[in-house]
Amino acid sequence: MLDIGWFSSGRDEAAIDLLKVVSNAINKGIIKGKISFVFVTREKGEKPESDKFIEFAENLGLKIITLSHRNFLPELRKKGLEESSKSGVDSPTIEKWRTLYDETAMDLLSNYNPDIIVLAGYMLIVSPDMCRKYKMINLHPALPGGPKGTWQEVIWQLIEQRAKKSGVMMHLITPELDAGPAITYCEYSIYDDPIKPLWEQWEHKSKNKTLSEIQNTEGEDEPLFKEIRRRGLKREFPLIVATLRSASLGEFSIVDGEVVSHGQKLTRGVDLTEYVESAICDENM
């Protein structure tokens, strides 16, 4: 049985939806495992959104552990954020705060020994010490080796590159931000017949405007942007479920920071496209 730890900031409805989806998959036996604890970076009374998330997790009968990042050494955090804002890179002060916060978090979690920890709407950068202690995974809205950055930045890069396909992947958290190896992924087309008219509109539009101008005037409402986002979003939850299912069945393992499947090291992770597409098809039936 896979022992799962769950990290979240509980900042929106999506955090609840994802926990609900994975919990349902466990209850149905799709994932052979359990969620041992939910760690939240907010405490009750801080924000209505996180209060709702904590209440939902409690109603599932899950163990909740909270440590407010805003109330933890606030002066040190404030100084670190100010220094980082001025320099454009993380300052030693914010790195010190991050290390101290994670040390405290790990003390709170010392009675647990999860096989894997899912970062699900977790808004803090994880310290190197915590990366080394746990096998932590996170979702990134691109194929292995694809664009980096936020999901918005990824989509604009795909459009700029005239990409024919994209994907979603789960990757291992490492001390180097967004540079951990892919664990699982799924792939999908962003240049099939239904979307081609939007590409044609984009080509016509981009002859008269720069990418920056389109971003400033239309932003996330740009039709091609919205459709690529829609296609990726519908695959995110199924991939997370598929990843935990695959891990619980022993179809892959994480050894010394690498993904191993059937005795072979995988450079791109496990391709779960078929399972994810099947899950999406079942939802639409």
Distance CA 112, CA 115 (A): 10
Residue 195 has pLDDT above 70, yes or no: yes
Q: Which of 268, 261, 251 is nearest to 171 (CA)?
A: 268
Question: CA-CA-CA-CA torsion for 182, 185, 188, 191, nearest 10 degrees?
Answer: 0
How confident is the model at residue 281, as a pLDDT? 81
Residue 253, both tokens: 């393992």
Residue 25, both tokens: 């998959």
Distance CA 261, CA 264 (A): 5
Taking the mean position of all CA atoms in its chain, how far away is CA 67?
20
Categorize the per-residue pLDDT at 176 as very low, low, confident or very high, splitting at 50, 70 and 90.
confident
Q: Do domains 1-134 and 138-285 have the same CATH topology?
A: yes
Q: 204-255, pLDDT tens digit by residue?
A: 999 989 999 999 999 999 999 999 999 999 999 999 999 999 999 999 998 8
Lowest mean pLDDT across 70-79, 124-133, 171-180 = 171-180
**Arithmetic mean of pLDDT over the chain:** 94
Average pLDDT (162-170) is 96
Residue 268 has pLDDT above 80, yes or no: yes
Per-domain residue ranges for the chain? 1-134, 138-285
Question: Percent of the chain having pLDDT more than 90?
Answer: 86
Question: Do 226 and 233 meet the contact criterion of CB atoms below 8 Å apart?
Answer: no
Element (H, E) at 7: strand 2-8
Fold category of 1-134 in CATH: Rossmann fold (3.40.50)
Residue 226, both tokens: 């919205």
Categorize the per-residue pLDDT at 284 as very low, low, confident or very high, splitting at 50, 70 and 90.
low
Distance CA 229, CA 232 (A): 5
Distance CA 173, CA 134 (A): 9
Distance CA 19, CA 217 (A): 35
CATH no. for 138-285: 3.40.50.170
Q: 94-103, pLDDT tens digit by residue?
A: 999 999 999 9
Average pLDDT (6-16) is 94
How confident is the model at residue 174, as a pLDDT? 87
DSSP state of 144: T
Q: 118-127, pLDDT tens digit by residue?
A: 999 999 999 9
Q: Structure pTM?
A: 0.92
Question: Do 40 and 121 meet the contact criterion of CB atoms below 8 Å apart?
Answer: no
Categorize the per-residue pLDDT at 141 as very low, low, confident or very high, splitting at 50, 70 and 90.
very high
Distance CA 216, CA 56 (A): 38
Distance CA 146, CA 171 (A): 12
